[in-house]
Every structure is written in structure tokens, then in C-alpha cells.
Amino acid sequence: MKALLACIFNETNTFSVLPVGRKAFEAKLFARKALSVPPVPCTTPLQIWREKAAAKSWTCIDSLGAWAQPAGMVSREIFEECRDIILADVARERPDIVMLSMHGAMVADGYDDCEGDLMARIREILGREAIISLEIDPHCHLTPLMLEAATLIVCFKEYPHTDVAARAHDLFQLTADAAEGLTKPVMRDFDCRMVSMYPTQGAVMRVFVDDMLAAEGQNGILSLSLAHGFPYGDTADTGTRMLAIADGNADLAQAAAEQFGKRLWDSREALRINWPDIPTALDRAEAATEFPVVLADTGDNAGGGAPSDSTFVLQEVLARGMKDVALAVYWDPVLVDMCCDAGVGARMRVRLGGKRSVTSGEAVDLDVTVRAIRHDMVQKFGDLPSPFGTGVWLDANGVHLVINNSRTQCLHPSLFTDLGIDLAAMRAIVVKSSNHFYAGFAPIASEVIHIASPGTLTADFAAIPYTRRAPDYWPRVENPFADTAS
């Protein structure tokens, strides 16, 4: 067997003002051979697949590795360049198997479905017999073209995504079984007609994920994935879909997808996102008797394409005179450079945040002391390392701010502690993240509060100004199934 491994990874927030061109990929990952450079979370599956393929004496072709931090629309040029590198490798090597790590919500100028486009072209080159396997983020747009072109699609099940490696192992086993003629995978999906977020630490989703895992490998079901959908990508296929893969039986796959999909629909009220606004969240933090309270500034999550420089929460913290509060991370490469030049111990007047977008709020002027500077920082994403760039700790009279030069969300307390900030001494920690922070921060938090903060990512899913996605979804309408009597 010959397997080709490749990765193009981007989650596109079509409402974000930040462009994604070649530089955005070069800033994170753009490697002609993905496995020739140190791994990042999205190339970890390729590493696992190469090891497992070697154990089976398969030949492995190391193709492109490309990843850009989520932002706005990807340029046509960089998507076509990445795609055509992989297609040229496929045409030259003619592998039996193509294994891809992609996000599933990449939108480029002229391409609403980058993953489907790539896989359809691979299928055209290799024909029906080839196996095309895809591991994707659940915040994807699961499209008919993807389901038509791929042999196997597996999403991460956990949100926070702590199971990237576990799902890579699953997908390899499914791929090997199909390649060796032991199974005939058939995929079917069910449209839940929902647009929302589904953190898996809550009781309902915890049981849902555990039940998906328990059903796999039983009664002809090979794999189950919940494609949560990415609410901030405006495409015709945006929304939540349940995916089932059965062994040679399309009816069985359809029934399983419907069973789990309808179960999610039936749980919608328990899953409804109802986070407090900033004043309410800070009232709770100030009233707390155990510390630190961890608050998530979800509206400005770089991991969902936001600039990570909004000041709405900071302004309220300052207006209330709160002390012993740590906030991260503000993306400001210019200010990072200025702090590096001034050095540790410097006292400065700085203008922070509010620069990238109307959703960033007003800039804030502060007198600060530069308490620490650290280069080439890395934070954990589950067990995987994720680059953080240069981090700077600014102390504004008891309000502790982390800024950096490589736009990323807050994933782990180490981004504070590696700079020397004592989180146990803080009353509140504010992180710019939607839910990935939870795995790292919940163990040190007295309480976790998600804030429905203003920003590029709204928690009001009924109000997202879609132009391409039809409005017939919950919670925009109470029952989008009403006209079909389902």
C-alpha cells in the first residue's frame, strides 16, 4: 500500500475583517513536506499515521503541511497554491490511500467548500477504488461534496478538542480495514437544523459523546461523528449535522445518523447557550468568596477568527477598580516590539487594544510596568504543543495583562505562569477563548463563567447576519422541522 499524507488547515470566519493570504500561513505553518518540521496540533495526525503506516510496511508520501490562524476569507491564490501542490503529489505518486488533516470550515475567495473541492479533485485523479480519509474539526461545514468525495470522515468528538490524537488512531484503523478489504464504509448524515456551540464538558454532551464512542464497532456501525458546525462561516451548508459510517449498509448508516441527530435536537433546550453579559459576569466574579474565578471573553476568541484585541472586558474591570486580575491575550506585535526595546522593568504609557476592527472597542491608555518578556513561548492544546510567540507581562497597578505577537487564543494557564504570573494570587482570570481554555483552566478555577461579550463572535446565534445560510435553523426559528412533520 502507498499512502499520501497532507494537511491544509484553516477555520474561516467569513465575518472577520482579518485577511488570510500567504503570510498568514507562513506565520504558522507552510511546509512543502508537513513532517519535515516540528509538529503542531493539526499535523499531529500525520505523525501518527506515518508511524502506524510504517508498522504495516506501507510506503508513506509526505505532502504539504499548511495552517493559518482562523481569521477572515482565505485568498484564492494561497488556497489554489496549497491545493495544487497536493494534487501534483497525488498525480505523480498515485497512492492507494490519501489521508488528510483539514479543518472542515475553510472558505476561500471563490470556494465555499475548500475541503470538498480538494477531495473531489483527488477522487477525479485516483478513481473510485482509492481511499480518501479525512480527520476534521467538529466546527466544520459537512457538505454533500465532502461526503461524496471522501471514503471516511471522522471529526474530533471532544470540545475542547482533547482527542485529536485519539481520533487519528480511529481513522487509521478504519482506513486500514477498508484498504485490506475487511470493511466497506458507507457514510450518511442527518441535518439537525441547528446552529449553536456544544461544549462537551456539560452533562448532556458528555453522555452524548460517551454514547457515540460506545456505539462504534457495534452492530455494523463503524464510526459516529457530530459535526457541530461553525456558526461564523456563512455558507449554504453551515449548521449541525450528525454523521454515521456503517459497514456496507447505507440504511443502517442513515438510521444511526438520524437516531443520534434527533437525540441532539430533542436536547436543544438543555443545550441552549445562555451566557451572562459583561456586567453580570463581573458582578459574579466580585461577589465570589473563592478564587480565582475564570471568565471567558468569548466574543474576541482568536481561535474563531477574532482579532484578540477587544477591550470591552478590560474597560469594565478598570471602571470597577478591580485588582489582582489577569487578562490574556492581547495581540499587538507593535507594542510587543516596543516592550522588548524598553526592557523588563521599564515603566511606560501604552495604548492597548481597540485597533483591528469595530468589534475591538476603544483603545485603552494605561501606565504599566513591563514585568517579564519571553520569546518562543509554547502553550498546551490538550497534550499537544501550540506556538504562542513572544509574550509580555504588563502590570497596570494590579491589573495584569499578557500581550503577544502571534495571534492565538488562551489555551492553558502556562501562558501566564511561564511569564511568572502567580495565578493562585489572582481573584479573577479573563481569557480570550470560547471553550478550548476549559481543559486547562477548569482545574485551577473556583468557578468558570463564559461571558457573552461583544466582538467578532456573537453568542446570539439567532442574530448572525447570514446571507448564504438559509434562516430556517434553531434557535432562529423555534421548529425548523415543523413543515416536514418530523
- Contact residues toward Zn ion (CB under 5 A) are 137, 139
Nearer to Zn ion, 228 or 469 (CB): 228
Nearer to Zn ion, 183 or 433 (CB): 433
Residue 386 CA to its chain's centroid (Å): 13
In 3D, which of 35, 8, 168, 167 has the Cα closest to residue 103?
8
Based on its alpha-carbon atoms, the radius of gyration of the chain, rounded to whole angstroms, reads 22
Could you list the beta-strand ranges (E) of 340-383.
347-352, 364-381
Q: Which residues pair with 30 in a beta bridge?
A: 66
Answer whether 236's CB lies under 8 Å from 470's CB: yes
Nearer to Zn ion, 52 or 139 (CB): 139
Minimum CB distance to Zn ion, residue 139 (Å): 4
Cβ partners under 8 Å of residue 99, min gap 6 = 3, 4, 5, 6, 45, 46, 49, 133, 134, 135, 171, 172, 175
Nearer to Zn ion, 208 or 393 (CB): 208
349 backbone dihedrals φ, ψ, rounded to 5°: -100, 120
Q: Which residue is nearest to Zn ion (CB)?
A: 139
Nearer to Zn ion, 303 or 454 (CB): 303
Nearer to Zn ion, 139 or 188 (CB): 139
Minimum CB distance to Zn ion, residue 137 (Å): 4
Minimum CB distance to Zn ion, residue 72 (Å): 17
In 3D, which of 208, 190, 212, 191 has the Cα closest to residue 199?
208
Minimum CB distance to Zn ion, residue 431 (Å): 16
Nearer to Zn ion, 43 or 311 (CB): 43
Minimum CB distance to Zn ion, residue 437 (Å): 13
- The single-letter DSSP state of residue 479 is -
Minimum CB distance to Zn ion, residue 362 (Å): 30
Cβ partners under 8 Å of residue 418, min gap 6 = 374, 377, 391
Distance, in Å, from the CA atom of 338 to the CA atom of 157, rounded to the nearest integer, reads 42
* DSSP track, 450-462: EE--SSSS-S-GG
Nearer to Zn ion, 71 or 179 (CB): 71
Minimum CB distance to Zn ion, residue 86 (Å): 22
Minimum CB distance to Zn ion, residue 411 (Å): 12
Q: Which three cell numbers stand for residue 316?
A: 469594565
